[in-house]
Amino acid sequence: MLLSLPCCRLILGVPLSLTTLILSFFSETAQATEWIQYPPSGTATLTHYTLPQGYIASCGCTGASTQYPTAAMSQYAFGSSTAYGPACGRCFKITLLNTYLPNPPFFPNVTKSVVVKVTDLCPAGGNGWCSATPGKPNQGGQYINFDLAWPSPSIPDDFFPSNAALYGFTDFGVWNVSYQSVDCLQNWAGAKNPAALGSVDDGSSVCCPANPTGSANDTCPSFSDDNGIPPDTASAAASSAVGARGGASLPATLLLYSLLVSSFLCSSFLSG
């Protein structure tokens, strides 16, 4: 985009001050990512992963939190592409509904629920279960995936019901679940242990409220938004989104260079 001197107008002839143009440029490139806004209760998919005891995950919750039920949350619902996000520290009651992958689906004849605290981020890569974006659900048709830390000393080994005689295996891998946001201090098993609450104090970027309510006073901000870090995803669609939402693309960088050069030339012209 070329600028003319000395009036510093766009070549199309529309008057626009250089200062306004530069501010508009930075405003556009610093836009926050559009995260998934989910209701307090609904449905989701549930997977599970191994989290070592005492491990400090993305939110920076204390190592003692791993002694109790915890989960990672899919990136666009978590609210950050790295470190901490608004989901950190939140508690959800998750209830198993039915399995997703086997055919026919397995519907348990018992109700199994667990209250988890979100301590970790599940990255949105490719078409995985944590890949949902505001405009596209995951392969199970859901916009949220909880990745349960399991096996866990706080969750029974037989938490996931099965029918090995029919299916030939006991771990179905993916479940359809219902979720409900709950008060951590009243419902999470680790709430009575002060060592399991809050964040580690090691000078790193951490945020793990004991009982976040959604208020700015007790809920984590988005680390990636605050630091201009784009969504972390390997999909082609997300790669294009990075150019739109996160740092400056090459054409945008050239535009900024053009603006700065034009600013210098305008200043020299006016002072001369």
Judged against a pLDDT cut of 80, whether residue 2 lies above it is answered with no
Eight-class DSSP state of 136: B
Chain mean pLDDT for the chain:
80
- Please tell me the predicted confidence (pLDDT) of residue 167: 92
For 234, what's the count of Cα atoms within 13 Å in the CB-facing half-sphere?
A: 6
DSSP string, 191-255: GG-GGGSSB--SSSS----SS--S-TTTS---HHHHTTPPP---SHHHHHHHHHHSS--HHHHHH
Judged against a pLDDT cut of 70, whether residue 257 lies above it is answered with no
Would you say how long the chain is, in residues? 272
- Are the C-beta atoms of residues 50 and 113 closer than 8 Å to each other? no
pLDDT confidence tier of residue 20, bands split at 50, 70 and 90: very low
- Please tell me the predicted confidence (pLDDT) of residue 19: 41
- Are the C-beta atoms of residues 118 and 44 closer than 8 Å to each other? no
Segment 38-94, tens digit of pLDDT: 999 999 999 999 999 999 999 999 999 999 999 999 999 999 999 999 999 999 999
Pairing of strands 3-4, 113-122: unpaired
- Are the C-beta atoms of residues 208 and 198 closer than 8 Å to each other? yes
Eight-class DSSP state of 4: E
Q: How far is CA 172 from the centre of its chain?
A: 25
Average pLDDT score over residue span 215-240: 74
Instruction: Report how far apart the first and last C-alpha atoms of the chain are (Å, whole number).
Output: 25
- Are the C-beta atoms of residues 99 and 106 closer than 8 Å to each other? yes
Segment 161-218, tens digit of pLDDT: 999 999 998 899 999 999 999 999 999 999 999 999 999 987 778 999 999 999 999 9
Segment 88-123, tens digit of pLDDT: 999 999 999 999 988 899 999 999 999 999 999 999
- Cα separation, 114 vs 69, in Å, equals 7
